[in-house]
Amino acid sequence: MKKTLITAGIVLVVALLIVLNLIHKGEARMDVEVEKVTRRDVSQVITASGNIQPRRRVNVSASALGKVTRVAVEEGDMVKKGDFLLQIDAAPYQSAVEQLTAAVRGAEADLEVQRASERKASADLERERSLQNKGFSSDQALRDAQVAADMAHARVKAARETLTQQRANLRKANHDLREVRITAAMSGMVTALNVEEGESAIMGTINNPGTVLLTIADMTEMQAEVRVDETEVVHVHPGQKARVRLDAYPDTTFAGTVREVGSSAMRSQVGLGQESVDFKVVVTILDSIPGIRPGLSASVDITVATADSALTVPIQALTVRSRAELKRWQRRAHPGRKSGTVAAGVSADTAKTTTAAGEEKKRDIEGVFVVADKRASFRRVRVGIPGERVFEILDGLKENEKVVTGPLRAINDLKSGEAVRIRNPHRRKKG
Q: What is the pLDDT of residues 20-69, one digit of tens each?
A: 554 444 456 788 999 999 999 999 999 999 999 999 989 888 888 889 99
What pLDDT does residue 356 have? 45
Is residue 117 assigned to a domain?
yes
What pLDDT does residue 22 have? 46
What count of residues does the chain have? Answer: 431
How many domains are contained in the chain? 4
User: pLDDT confidence of 78, banded at 50, 70, 90?
Assistant: very high
Is residue 410 assigned to a domain?
yes
What pLDDT does residue 392 have? 94
Do 162 and 133 fall within a single domain? yes
- How does pLDDT run across 150-187, given as a tens digit for each residue? 999 999 999 999 999 999 999 999 999 998 999 999 99
Q: Which residue has the higher pLDDT, 428 or 398?
A: 398
Is residue 16 assigned to a domain?
no
pLDDT over 60 (residue 375):
yes
Q: Which residue has the higher pLDDT, 5 or 95?
A: 95
What pLDDT does residue 289 have? 86
pLDDT over 60 (residue 5):
no
pLDDT over 60 (residue 18):
no
Average pLDDT over residues 284-310: 91
Do 79 and 197 fall within a single domain? yes
The residue among 149, 179, 209 that closes a domain is 179
The residue among 277, 309, 341 that closes a domain is 309
Is residue 84 assigned to a domain?
yes
Do 80 and 202 fall within a single domain? yes
What pLDDT does residue 343 have? 39
The residue among 291, 309, 327 that closes a domain is 309
Do 345 and 204 fall within a single domain? no
Is residue 122 assigned to a domain?
yes
Do 279 and 327 fall within a single domain? no
pLDDT over 80 (residue 223):
yes
Do 200 and 81 fall within a single domain? yes
What pLDDT does residue 323 have? 85
Domain that holds residue 245: 222-309
Do 97 and 184 fall within a single domain? no
pLDDT over 50 (residue 85):
yes
Do 68 and 145 fall within a single domain? no
Is residue 377 assigned to a domain?
yes
Do 79 and 198 fall within a single domain? yes
Q: Alpha-carbon torsion 243, 246, 250, 255, what sign? A: negative
Do 105 and 137 fall within a single domain? yes
CATH number, domain containing residue 77: 2.40.50.100
CATH number, domain containing residue 247: 2.40.30.170
User: pLDDT confidence of 124, banded at 50, 70, 90?
Assistant: confident
Burial 378-415 (b: 16+ CB within 10 A, else e): bbbbebbbbbeebbbbeebbeeebbbbbbbeebbeebb
Query: How far is the C-alpha of 94 from the C-alpha of 84, rounded, in Å?
Result: 19
CATH number, domain containing residue 337: 2.40.420.20
The two beta strands, 222-229 and 274-285, are: antiparallel
Do 257 and 276 fall within a single domain? yes
Is residue 20 assigned to a domain?
no
Is residue 19 assigned to a domain?
no
From 1-10, 297-306, 335-344, the region with the lowest mean pLDDT: 335-344
Q: Which residue has the higher pLDDT, 85 or 344?
A: 85
Do 134 and 245 fall within a single domain? no
